[in-house]
Structure 1
């Protein structure tokens, strides 16, 4: 293990070429971490990494599609060969499902009429992809003195919020794909946190808020940088920090 590997914190962020993932990568890099920009598209990943390097940060692109086991394995192998360990994993990559249906039904995820293939695609990316990436990176995270995993969730994944008639999110179109996938991600976060707590892991879910990103045609009222704040905080928790939690920038979120 060389000196760089021994002392440098390494963070991998999935879906980091744009939006909240990119903002998270930028903020972690500003804190001095080596950031691995994981993206499906190699060109877009390299462009994002190059922009960070131009700003004086240590960033490198890694090709990784959370629905493609071969790219996940290759990414894990690359991290092991180059760095020998991983300190932070941010599972940010995800899809809304709106792109899986015709434009006139772009937001039709009504349970009574939803396209099951679209639901499967959303869960494949937002839930099964998180399991696949996390499990591939666990051996590397176990070599960190303070491993942190952050799963990027959503207010829409809160059953308490979405079932409240007074909640802002209850006015959004009903969703049989995206919202349930984020609820499942919350449950998954707790299960990983419980299993890994004895090994010093802190595993939490973050709710960035309604940020202006491609996933909502940039209609959000928060910037990606604002949304990344809570993700970065959870990625850099001290040893006495929480685990098995769900947090927004304002604090704990209801399940």
Structure 2
């Protein structure tokens, strides 16, 4: 196959004019993804039209791994590296781990490598996300269940989980329309909309975790810094002991919450 020779400056200029902040990097990724000049033109046209770069490439970089993503699936954010790190820090040896609201399965994929868990599973309510997560996690023998939060998880794990990680939706319903078009137009609303105050799903996660965690086990969730106080109150009300972790560089906030022994 003959190599393509794109006009890089023109390509970068077009991407930058469309609002792509990292136009040079995106140009190189799109060039690498195309095997013909026509394919490159098509990718650039769709990127300029607003399609997420990750959906065009078919993958997203997360915590140093290449995670497969598909149209309609939530793209893992760089800030969620804090959630994964916070979860790993409280996991203990050979934990039993559940990744709730798993999306592409990115968190489970990273935790598989970091924790060597004795049991690891993921779950999501969105069938498109479940199919994508299974694609990412099947090579490692990690099951992905489809259903509402804990409902599809094998009941024998109730009260036996050492770690539950949940990157649940926490954007207030009224703020979804203010999100970047890449997210609100091309990702499932079920992965974004957290209800009136953004905490509707996380309240249910907290209540379920109190039943599914083993004594001494931990829940780890992501939330905005402005919601952290209210969510800590929810977690305490569910009988869990919360700790807030924040990273200014990532502009990220996570909360770990321990079920008392």
**Bigger RCO of structures 1 and 2 (CA < 8 A, at least 6 apart):** 1
What's the TM-score once normalised by structure 2's chain length? 0.34
Higher strand share: 2
- Higher gyration radius (CA): 2
Higher helix share: 1
